[in-house]
Amino acid sequence: MKWLPAFVVATALAAPAFAHHSAAGIDRSKSVTLAGTVKQFGWQNPHSWMEVDVPNEAGVVTTWKVEMTSPAFLIRAGWKATTLKPGDKVSVKVFPLKGGEPGGLFQSVTLADGSTLTERAAAPRPAP
């Protein structure tokens, strides 16, 4: 039975319904990489989220809103409430909003130490 929760989680992450809302506003056909600074990180149910200040070439800063899954799923993927702090330099990959507003659905983040986190738990191990 030990493998079951991990299997369930992996399956749930593959399903379109783990969110509390429809993802119709998200453009999954392309990814955008945001290089910027963490403004806020919300460790919150039913969704965690982050705001990232992203400067353009002229130095004008735009705040991107990035929606994420719940802390329960993030914990299984190696996250902690303290993983992101305001001021952290990050590179965040998102599926952007269709409408072009500065927001999107989280894919992965690369931290200042070079490590990368996603929302996916490690592959389940077979039962002993």
Partner 1 sequence: MKRVTATALALTLAVAGVSAQDLGVLAPANLAKPRPKPALDITGTWFIDLGFPGSWRFGPPYPKLTPDAQKHFDAAQKARAEGKVYRDDIGQCWPAGVPLIMTRVWSISMVQLPTVVYMISGFMNSLRVVNMDGRPHTDPDLVVRTFNGDSIGRFEGDALVVDTTGFIDHHHWIDNGIPASDALHIVERIRLVDGGKKMQIEYTMTDPKSWEGEWKMTKQWNRVDSRDMEIAEVECLPDLNSHIPSTQSKENVR
Which residues of this protein are in contact with partner 1, per CB under 8 A? Answer: 1-2, 4-5, 8, 11-12, 14-15, 17-26, 42, 44-47, 49, 51, 65, 67, 70, 72, 75-76, 97-99, 101, 103-105
Looking at the Cβ atoms of 20 and 30, the one nearer to partner 1 is: 20
Instruction: Report the nearest approach of partner 1 to the CB of residue 30 (Å).
Output: 14
Looking at the Cβ atoms of 20 and 113, the one nearer to partner 1 is: 20
Looking at the Cβ atoms of 23 and 61, the one nearer to partner 1 is: 23
CA 84/CA 82 separation, integer angstroms: 5
CA 49/CA 46 separation, integer angstroms: 10
Q: 74 and 109 in contact (C-beta within 8 Å)?
A: no
Determine whether 117 is exposed, middle or buried from the number of CB atoms within 10 Å of its CB (0-12, 13-18, 19+). middle
Radius of gyration of the chain measured on its C-alpha atoms: 15
Instruction: Report the nearest approach of partner 1 to the CB of residue 57 (Å).
Output: 24
